Amino acid sequence: MEIFSNEHYQAELHFCRYLLNTCKYWIVYDGPSNESFVVYSNSDWTQDLELYKSITGYFTLIAHRVTFWMSCQQKTVVLSSTKAEYMALSDCGHQLVWMRNLLNEVGFNVPIPYIYGNNLGSLF
């Protein structure tokens, strides 16, 4: 059995206060922009000199608004910037499949987006 501390309780209260104070906020999307789903992906090859793991980063835009972003250390060590970029594109692709399925389930039929990267070796 897990026992929660006062720190856990305070964090939960903070989160509940945040939800109560922001319940009247909403995200406004630029529907007439005609740009539905855009994705940018990047990797930072071996900047961690202890573990030699690259950093993956990507974000998605729907109607010119950021809907998801992520930055994390890659799971394995790679030997080139192109491989690091492929890993970032792969992680990004998994997120896109999930997000597209979610949007389709709630009634938004979105086309498969382009993923924009910046490594010439990973263009196909």
Residue 108 lies inside a defined structural domain of this protein: yes
pLDDT confidence band for 49 (50 / 70 / 90)? confident
Query: Residue 41 is part of which domain span?
Result: 31-122
Residue 97 lies inside a defined structural domain of this protein: yes
pLDDT, the chain, mean: 79
pLDDT at residue 40, as a whole number: 85
Residue 7 lies inside a defined structural domain of this protein: no
pLDDT at residue 17, as a whole number: 92
How many domains are contained in the chain?
1
Residue 81 lies inside a defined structural domain of this protein: yes
More confident residue, 28 or 50: 50
Q: Which two tokens stand for residue 31?
A: 């529907």
Residues 39 and 114: beta-carbon distance below 8 Å: yes
Residue 100 lies inside a defined structural domain of this protein: yes
How far apart, in whole angstroms, are the C-alpha atoms of residue 4 and residue 82?
A: 45
Give residue-wise pLDDT tens across range 62-79: 777 788 888 888 888 887
Q: Which two tokens stand for residue 66?
A: 């950021």
Residues 68 and 102: beta-carbon distance below 8 Å: no
Phi, psi of 18 (to 5 degrees): -60, -45
pLDDT at residue 57, as a whole number: 85
3-state DSSP of the chain:
CCCCCHHHHHHHHHHHHHHHHHCCCCCCCCHHHCCCEEEEEEEECCCCCCCCCCEEEEEEEECCEEEEEEEEECCCCCCCHHHHHHHHHHHHHHHHHHHHHHHHHCCCCCCCCCEECCCHHHCC
Instruction: Flag whether pLDDT at 36 surpasses 90.
Output: no
CATH number of the domain within which 50 lies: 3.30.420
How far apart, in whole angstroms, are the C-alpha atoms of residue 117 and residue 92?
A: 11
